[in-house]
Structure 1
């Protein structure tokens, strides 16, 4: 039979409320008493009944995150950062790799306090049944949806990369990215390259990575590289595409200047110098959780929260 708070209180010779406060690490309980209660609870294998607590507080302290991809390093790292930010805010995170409709409705049924979604455009729109009944925050690009979105300005990040290449004297650029997609984040990156280069008469090529994973990018770049020389300046649409690109080309023969979207620490550990562009993942994660907290507590003030990309040169 499960150990209850009353069982722990009886074993410790204190009141139910004292045990409750001690297990919540309340400063109202003396440190020695708190340590004793926490140790006793652990010895008795006490497990908090979150369902019962949720009935009283009307909060489950859980957040549902709809996982967009299981095979990409950059996404996995960002999700880990979001999980850490949620923990610091007192939440536990539940992941789902199901489709948008199934996952969001399950989170609603489970009584989650909120949902985080990676917005890719119309295909990831949540139904009113969901966002009218549970706080939602999306990560993506600035577009018209009915719940707050964290915009990390992919378009501006690409322009910053181009301008940095130009400042280094590079006037020929290859962009390697996922082209034939409905993902608004990838579309914004490609459009920035095309728009800026055409407007400023810069030589550029678009190389389709045929996906966002390292393996897909490696295969696509190898096919291109077998027939063509690469430009002296390369901009990759994601960290995983950058990995695939580095694996596909002969870096002893070609030594291009490479910029990679996804500003994650992994880039600094690559053997080849790669410059990172984009909002740092810790900043994204903290903003997502900050806004979600705000929506849960007070409702949304803004529809779009803009973050500024950074350029980290190696």
Structure 2
């Protein structure tokens, strides 16, 4: 049977408003009475009604994550880092994997007043989201590249990341490099790197594949069998990296002896591979820390100004890349 404030009040011989004040740390209750009420509440295993408290003050100590329906390990590790950063500040984290309007509606219903929303470049809110945003009274932060009026923003320099990867491989003597990924800002960074470094170019050195598509194994296999095969690969996702490495194993191809490999997204799994993989991408720890600094700041302490930050990516050199 659930213990209520009235049960504690009867046991303590006081009114239930007095119990409420004592448990909430409100003034008007002596220290001795407060300590006695708290002790009785603990003995009776009283669990506070957080929903009622939210109804009273319309605030929570909770951050809501509007997260993509993705199996990418990057989002798993980033959400864990955000949770750890939030816990250090005494905040809880709720995650919604629903479509953004529905997730935002759920957070509104639970009075969540801090929201971190992963939105890719080019994302546009629909009318359902706009209506829920109008009902939202709190701080919202977009991560990933999307833009929303009245919200903080952290963008990621993905183009610069792939450009840096190309320059690194070029410095190691690689002239023929293949990029596997979607035709977005990452591919622009690849093209810029190839042109500036004056590298060899072949139409098959860009294998376009949209996010969520399976690894283009046949196209990569045909490239490996061609006379124009590259000496290095840059892939823009973990799924493509795992697909490429499986193809390498099936063909007994060695890294970096036969091919060098750089993967976008510095997830811990890349460092734990049999051949640790060189990565380029945003630091998950730094991204989480920056997000919490923005979203958890107190009003009136310099956090009212909307932040618009573009973070640089980091190249982490490991054993999957070598010199020709």
User: TM-score interval w.r.t. the shorter chain?
Assistant: 0.7 to 0.9
The yes-or-no answer on 1:270 pairing with 2:265 is no
**Unaligned regions of 5+ residues in structure 2, if any?**
26-30, 319-324
Contact 2:142–2:153, Cα closer than 8 Å, also in 1: yes
The CA deviation string for residues 77-109 of structure 1, in whole angstroms up to 9 with x for no partner, is 212222222222222222222212222222222
* 2:222 corresponds to: 227
Equivalence for 1:197? 194
Q: Is the 8 A contact 2:65 2:96 kept in 1?
A: yes
In structure 1, how many angstroms separate the alpha carbons of the residues matched to 2:300 and 2:5?
A: 28
**CA–CA separation in structure 2 for the residues paired with 1:142 and 1:111:** 24
Q: Partner of 1:228: helix, strand, or coil?
A: helix
Q: What is the CA-CA distance between 1:163 and the residue it aligns to? A: 1.4
Q: How does 1:293-308 map to 2 (within 5 A)?
A: 293-294=296-297, 299-308=303-312
In our comparison, the structure showing a higher alpha carbon Rg is 2
> Shift in Å at residue 193 of structure 1?
1.0
Distance 1:282 1:37, change over 3 A: farther
Count of residues in Structure 1 that have an aligned counterpart in Structure 2: 290
Matched with 1:236 is: 235
Query: Any stretches of 5+ residues in structure 1 without a counterpart?
Result: 22-28, 180-186
Task: Give 1:20 deviation, angstroms.
Answer: 4.7
Which residue of structure 2 lines up, in the alignment, with residue 281 of structure 1?
284
Tell me if structure 1 keeps the 8 A contact 2:78–2:285: yes
TM, length-normalised to structure 1: 0.79
- Answer whether contact 2:170 2:197 (CA < 8 A) is retained: no
Map Cα deviations across residues 216-244 of structure 1 (whole Å, 9 max, x no partner): 22xx1x21233112522211112232122
Q: 1:235 to 1:9 in 2, by over 3 A?
A: farther
- For residues 6 and 171 of structure 1, do their structure 2 counterparts lie closer, same or farther at Cα, with a shift above 3 Å needed? farther
Q: Distance in 2 between the 1:82 and 1:119 partners?
A: 16
CA separation of 1:91/1:111 partners in 2, compared to 1, >3 Å: closer, same or farther?
same
Deviation per CA, 1:9-54: give whole Å up to 9, x if none: 8879998466556xxxxxxx9xxx89x949x72x633222112222
Matched, 1:291 2:286: no
Q: 1:258 to 1:9 in 2, by over 3 A?
A: farther
Between the aligned partners of 1:297 and 1:99, the Cα distance in structure 2 is: 32
Between 115-124 and 231-240, the greater mean CA deviation after superposition? 115-124
Distance between the aligned counterparts of 1:160 and 1:178, measured in 2? 18
For the structure 1 residues 125 and 202, does the alpha-carbon distance in structure 2 shift closer, same or farther, using more than 3 Å as the test? Answer: farther
Aligned match for 2:145, one of 141, 144, 156 = 141
1:26 aligns with none
Residue 119 in 1 paired to residue 116 in 2?
Answer: no
1:147-162 equivalence runs, <5 A = 147-162=151-166
Tell whether the 8 Å contact from 1:148 to 1:300 is kept in structure 2 after alignment: no
Could you tell me how far 1:166 is from its partner in structure 2? 1.4
Q: For 1:36-51, list aligned pairs within 5 A.
A: 37=39, 41=42, 44-51=44-51
Q: TM-score, normalised by structure 2?
A: 0.76
| 1:159/1:193 contact within 8 Å kept | yes
Quick one: distance in 1 between partners of 2:291 and 2:197?
35
Instruction: Go from structure 1 to structure 2 and tell me whether the alpha carbon gap of 1:10 and 1:307 turns closer, same or farther (over 3 Å shift).
Output: farther
